[in-house]
Structure 1
Amino acid sequence: MRIKPHYQKHPDPELNGNPLAEALQPILCPNEVRRLIDFSPKFADDFHTLSRIYQNLNIRRIAEIFVAPTISTLLYDKLFELILDGYRYRNPLTVKMTRFLYELASRGELIGGDDDNKIYEVVPPGMTTAPGSIFSGPTGTGKTSVIRAVLGIIPQVISHSAYGSIPSFQQDQIVWISFDAPATPSPKALCLNFMKAVDQALGIERYFTEFSRRSDNTSVDLHILKVQEVAANHFIGIVHFDEMQFFLKYAKIKNSPNLQILEAMFNKLGIPIIISTTDEGLPLISADPQTKRRMLSEQHFKLKPLKYNTPAFKDFINAIFLRQIWGVDDVLNTQSEFIKKFYELSAGLQAVMIRLSRLHLYYSIQKGGTPFDAQLLEQVFDSQFHYMKGSLAALRVGDFDSFEKKIPKNPDGSVAWSDEAMDSTKESGDVGEEKATTSTQSQKKNTSKSPAKPVQAFHNPALIGGV
């Protein structure tokens, strides 16, 4: 979302006189935050009279449904708070900030390709280390979806052209950025994932194209420095780093990406970071007391599978089982036995609930039967979730460690949500549904081009939807 700024003063006087802060105004009503985040695609009014292929097209859109969990409003408030607090100390109109950007750019000449110089030792002094937050939960609970949906109602890029009496203030301010851990043990790949995300936000082909072309002949330190320069020059307000548990795959490999590199890239420049990870990745943070203190200096958010008959579960069920598609009102009461079986099979895991409902409806239409056939539901589950039976069985009894260990993974560490994904992985190395469109996979060998127009992460099923 790229916008032109509308500058407004804040009740906090320390934020005023700063175009980065005055261009942002928070949504103060929690219900409005939920309304903007909740999403249901528009389904055909005459769904039940459509030909089968058009019915199937509508059914596919069930994967785009997003129900904001209760934590969404708390997360929105925290992210906006961190963004504004960071901008409090990063006013682009001050001499201090101008000097900082100059000194940061000058560091490129100091390290000039010498890998012996560690980038985190040459960061310009004077900047306050920004706070870090963690968002954790079992695989499939929707961590990435929630964070990107919340970020999606915050403007991502603000194009400044003038501010007050300063007619020449021209700046593309990136308020937030979200990118994934690399699938390979390469700090350069980590940097390139960031560059690709910046290009996507700005709608240009610049940073990723430039650095992927000369990556082999450029040192790791220079890559990290350029990430710092881009982040500082675009005044990034907050960074979301996704899939931290990928670090586990190559934690023992020398010079592989780690949390210290992330901290050097952003936190030490005054840019707050929120890291999302499965519970499996949490030991990476607690392994080093200093890292734990810094990365958990702000808040630890947790997301869990839905519990039966809770308000969150009811909201989720009502959003998925729309009368317009399923032909029945109030399924929680009128189809209670079916819903109980549905919950039992899915273990309350949001990603499985979405996919199971979609596939079950598809097969029930193919067979011409009722969409609330519990026996067919079990058959669909047995057929399409064969590889997940062991992991879901562990989840049902609350054994989250076994769940993470047993859940099928693709070679890049992403989850294979279906039998087909596992089969294709074995045959060709292709990735499964959930992460097939993320920046890491689309990068492949760092040769793909960034899109020519901005990509908005809000309610884009390729980014937050799913399975």
Structure 2
Amino acid sequence: MKKEAIYRKHPLDSLNGNPLTEAIEVIAHEDELNKKLTFKPTFEKNLTDIPAVYQQVFLERLEKVHVPAPYLYGMYNKFVGLILDGYSKYTPHSAETNKLQMAIALAARKGERLEEEFISRTTAPSVFVHGHSGVGKTKGIRSVLKVIPQVIKHNKFEDKIFRQDQLVWISLDMPSTPSTKGLALNFFNAVDEALDTDFYEQWKDKSHYSVERHLSQMQSIAVAHHLGLAHIDELQFMLKYKNSKNAPSFTTIEALFNKLGIPIVLSSTTSGREMFLSDTKSPDFTITRRLLTNREYQFSLYGVKSKFFNSLFDALFPESFCKSSEMPDKQFKQVFCYLTCGLPAMMTRLAILHHESIAMLKNKYPDKADTYRTGDVERLHKTYNNQFSLIAGALDNLRAGNIQQFDEDVNKLDEKEHVLTNEEVKLAAKAERKKVQKLLPDVVPDPLGIPRVCMDIDSKDMLNFIKEGYDE
């Protein structure tokens, strides 16, 4: 959605006199940002007091619950700071900018990559965000970006005609296959969604065009619309095709954005980060380290005592959903934390499925309605066992500290490569647990009565993680 430009002076003189910077509105206070980022739907009735179809409407609202993670305010400041700093280093009407735009447009028409000698801008920095699958990286990053207007429509600035759609930011995924052209198509699709253009339709059937032609078209669009920041997600996909000749590389990413003065935000799973940084023999390693010279953010698991966990838990189990006698207690919360491993995505899914199970039972057996309680720990376990069989093996690996295997399991599920039945998945998970127990033979009872292996996640003992929690 395009937003008409409203120009504001900034307290730094270097950010004034430029339509690209003056059009950026800054949220200066954390409370104001958190208010924009938070979504906790209100429920005027008890879930089981309304017909089943309306119960589903209630549960759909829970799916959209969002509680800002503790580091999103710092991330917002970083993103906006990078955007403003990048824009402040050039003006859209300058001869230098016009020369660069013409050179890139000419290179795009010829299907060639622009030579670096024509690029006079300072190489922009990069931010790296990582964390376990399901911990809320992508949702967090994109929720912050959505607070920043994506497209600003200019008509006139300081009594001079300036007709331009300014593309402040863009967010796209790395391709899951080793294809640089696939990266270009993802970029075109993201641009189309923002600007209401049709670049994807123009290019999706042009596989016969060279890679250089695809990349030069990306650069042309970025410079023509004054792209301020690019977010590239699923960076761990590069691990699967790092030895492929046609795959996008760090060199490609740097040339596309950083060299043009466009800062980028890279996001990856934790295992992806470790493998990137350990690959010191890769020809891309120098560029990799250069790309990771700015801020690094790590999204961690959340313990039962953390402010974020409790805020999200309260939003997922609102008092208006059930009677006070049915509300979850401390033990329920601990079991919930254990089953979901403190992952926001798992917390949301399990909460919705648990509410749905309780409602279905009350609807089916109204004479026994009082025996089905939201805070029933045994019922929570049954919901998990019935509905999480496909992901349970991955979560077992996470609890056991097998982070890389956890990420690989989740990626396979995301790509729909799992062809096992639910029962076969359970058997595979059981075999995996036995293998872990041989490596870590010190078995202790869980305070909740759940037998498990001593675990180490993010250098924290899982027993303390469940029982005591830790601050973020």
Given that residues 390 and 407 in structure 1 are in contact (C-alpha distance below 8 angstroms), is that contact kept between their aligned partners in structure 2?
no
Secondary structure at 2:266's aligned position in 1? Answer: strand
Q: How far apart are the structure 2 equivalents of 1:157 and 1:75?
A: 20
Aligned to 1:401: 404
Aligned to 2:90: 90
Given that residues 169 and 229 in structure 2 are in contact (C-alpha distance below 8 angstroms), is that contact kept between their aligned partners in structure 1?
yes
Distance 1:329 1:25, change over 3 A: farther
Residues 307-331 of structure 1 show CA distances to partners (whole Å, capped at 9, x for unaligned) of 1211121112112111122344995
Return the match for 1:191 from 163, 184, 196.
184
Distance 1:384 1:106, change over 3 A: same
Given that residues 183 and 413 in structure 1 are in contact (C-alpha distance below 8 angstroms), is that contact kept between their aligned partners in structure 2?
no
Q: How does 1:44-443 map to 2 (within 5 A)?
A: 44-45=44-45, 47-109=47-109, 112-113=110-111, 119=113, 121-122=115-116, 124-166=118-160, 168-202=161-195, 204-213=196-205, 215-282=206-273, 283-284=275-276, 287=279, 288-328=284-324, 335-368=329-362, 369-407=372-410, 409-410=412-413, 412=415
Distance 1:83 1:413, change over 3 A: farther
Offset, 1:123: 6.6
Residues 103-160 of structure 1 show CA distances to partners (whole Å, capped at 9, x for unaligned) of 2212235xx34xxx6x375572311110011100010001000000001111111000
Secondary structure at 1:135's aligned position in 2? Answer: strand
Residues 360-382 of structure 1 show CA distances to partners (whole Å, capped at 9, x for unaligned) of 11011111121222111111111
Given that residues 131 and 267 in structure 1 are in contact (C-alpha distance below 8 angstroms), is that contact kept between their aligned partners in structure 2?
yes
Q: How far apart are the structure 1 equivalents of 2:164 and 2:411?
A: 45
Q: How far apart are the structure 2 equivalents of 1:318 and 1:23?
A: 38
Bigger Rg over Cα: 2
Structure 2 letter corresponding to 1:97: T
Residues 244-294 of structure 1 show CA distances to partners (whole Å, capped at 9, x for unaligned) of 111222222212112211111111100000011101221235534412332
Question: Kindly, what percent of the aligned residue pairs are identical?
Answer: 34
Distance 1:89 1:323, change over 3 A: same
Q: How far apart are the structure 2 equivalents of 1:23 and 1:346?
A: 42
- Give every structure 1 segment of 4 or more consecutive aligned residues whose post-TM-superposition deviation is greater than 6 Å: 413-416
Q: How far apart are the structure 1 equivalents of 2:251 and 2:278?
A: 13
Gaps of 5+ in 1: 423-467
Given that residues 44 and 58 in structure 1 are in contact (C-alpha distance below 8 angstroms), is that contact kept between their aligned partners in structure 2?
no
Q: How far apart are the structure 1 equivalents of 2:417 and 2:173?
A: 11
Distance 1:239 1:351, change over 3 A: same
Offset, 1:89: 1.2
Distance 1:337 1:224, change over 3 A: same
TM-score (normalised: structure 2)? 0.82
Gaps of 5+ in 2: 363-371, 426-472
Given that residues 326 and 375 in structure 2 are in contact (C-alpha distance below 8 angstroms), is that contact kept between their aligned partners in structure 1?
no
Decide which moves more: 386-395 or 12-21. Answer: 386-395
Given that residues 129 and 266 in structure 2 are in contact (C-alpha distance below 8 angstroms), is that contact kept between their aligned partners in structure 1?
yes
Distance 1:248 1:171, change over 3 A: same
Given that residues 318 and 330 in structure 1 are in contact (C-alpha distance below 8 angstroms), is that contact kept between their aligned partners in structure 2?
no
Q: How far apart are the structure 1 equivalents of 2:218 and 2:417?
A: 25
Residues 429-460 of structure 1 show CA distances to partners (whole Å, capped at 9, x for unaligned) of xxxxxxxxxxxxxxxxxxxxxxxxxxxxxxxx
TM-score (normalised: structure 1)? 0.83
Q: How far apart are the structure 2 equivalents of 1:90 and 1:300?
A: 27
Given that residues 385 and 419 in structure 1 are in contact (C-alpha distance below 8 angstroms), is that contact kept between their aligned partners in structure 2?
no
Q: How far apart are the structure 2 equivalents of 1:413 and 1:141?
A: 20
Number of aligned residue pairs: 410
Q: How far apart are the structure 2 equivalents of 1:164 and 1:107?
A: 32
Distance 1:132 1:57, change over 3 A: same
Q: How far apart are the structure 2 equivalents of 1:269 and 1:244?
A: 21
Secondary structure at 1:171's aligned position in 2? Answer: strand
Q: How far apart are the structure 1 equivalents of 2:38 and 2:106?
A: 45
Given that residues 326 and 374 in structure 2 are in contact (C-alpha distance below 8 angstroms), is that contact kept between their aligned partners in structure 1?
no
Q: How far apart are the structure 2 equivalents of 1:124 and 1:365?
A: 65
Q: How far apart are the structure 2 equivalents of 1:193 and 1:5?
A: 27
Residues 370-399 of structure 1 show CA distances to partners (whole Å, capped at 9, x for unaligned) of 122211111111111112223212322443
User: Which structure shows the higher strand fraction?
Assistant: 2
Q: How far apart are the structure 2 equivalents of 1:131 and 1:238?
A: 10
Q: How far apart are the structure 2 equivalents of 1:295 and 1:120?
A: 20
Offset, 1:60: 2.4
Q: How far apart are the structure 1 equivalents of 2:56 and 2:69?
A: 28
Secondary structure at 1:185's aligned position in 2? Answer: coil
Secondary structure at 1:239's aligned position in 2? Answer: strand
Distance 1:294 1:249, change over 3 A: same
Given that residues 132 and 298 in structure 1 are in contact (C-alpha distance below 8 angstroms), is that contact kept between their aligned partners in structure 2?
yes
Given that residues 15 and 88 in structure 1 are in contact (C-alpha distance below 8 angstroms), is that contact kept between their aligned partners in structure 2?
yes
Distance 1:120 1:292, change over 3 A: farther
Distance 1:415 1:74, change over 3 A: farther
Residues 202-233 of structure 1 show CA distances to partners (whole Å, capped at 9, x for unaligned) of 1x2421111123x2231100100000010111
Offset, 1:201: 0.6
Distance 1:227 1:51, change over 3 A: same
* Bigger relative CO (Cα 8 Å, ≥ 6 apart): 1
Offset, 1:67: 0.7
